[in-house]
Amino acid sequence: MANMLIKSSLTIIALAAALNAHAQSNGESANELLQEADAVFRHLDNGQIRVVWNGAAKFVKDRIEREKFETGILEARKKLGTVNRRGWAQITRIIYKNALELPDGLYANIDYATTLATGANVFEKLSFRLEDDGRWHFTGYVPRQEQGAVQ
């Protein structure tokens, strides 16, 4: 009886691990999203905007020229200045269907509370789309002065 209970428990654990691995491979893991966001911020903070462009969602690349993308991101980052620290505050996933300007799919916004070297607090939002390759791809960056305001 005890052996049967142990085998059943191991089977449940194995199934849970398999389901978790499957979920992560479909981009449903919050950790996966946060790792992608950390990589994007590393590139943004180091002025490596082209690397961010290279990993952007296909529809972003189809709609905006690389130079315009790079200039827009650099200008937005320059207004902020040096980041002292940042931490994520919220992750929101959204499924868009038949939206006017967005391809159907699963999107995610990650909102960060950021402290600048000047001591000022700002908020930064990174957006991603889950592409057909099962990975999150960058779709947008919005820095702002207030938590609820998207400019």
* Domain-embedded: residue 121: yes
Tokens linked to 90 = 């919220």
Q: pLDDT averaged over the chain?
A: 84
Sign of the torsion angle spanned by Cα atoms 39, 65, 140, 115: positive
Helix axes 66-80, 30-45, angle to 10 degrees: 80
* Domain-embedded: residue 6: no
CATH of the domain at 58: 3.10.450.590
The model's confidence at residue 7, banded by pLDDT at 50, 70 and 90, is very low
* Domain-embedded: residue 21: no
Structure-model confidence comparison of residues 8 and 136, the more confident one: 136
Tokens linked to 13 = 């654990």
* Domain-embedded: residue 130: yes
Number of domains in the chain: 1
Residues 28 and 128: beta-carbon distance below 8 Å? no
* Domain-embedded: residue 66: yes
> Cα–Cα distance between 12 and 18 in angstroms, integer?
10
Tokens linked to 87 = 């931490």
Write out the residue range of the structural domain in which residue 96 sits.
29-144
What confidence tens digit (pLDDT) does each residue in 57-79 have? 999 999 999 999 999 999 999 88
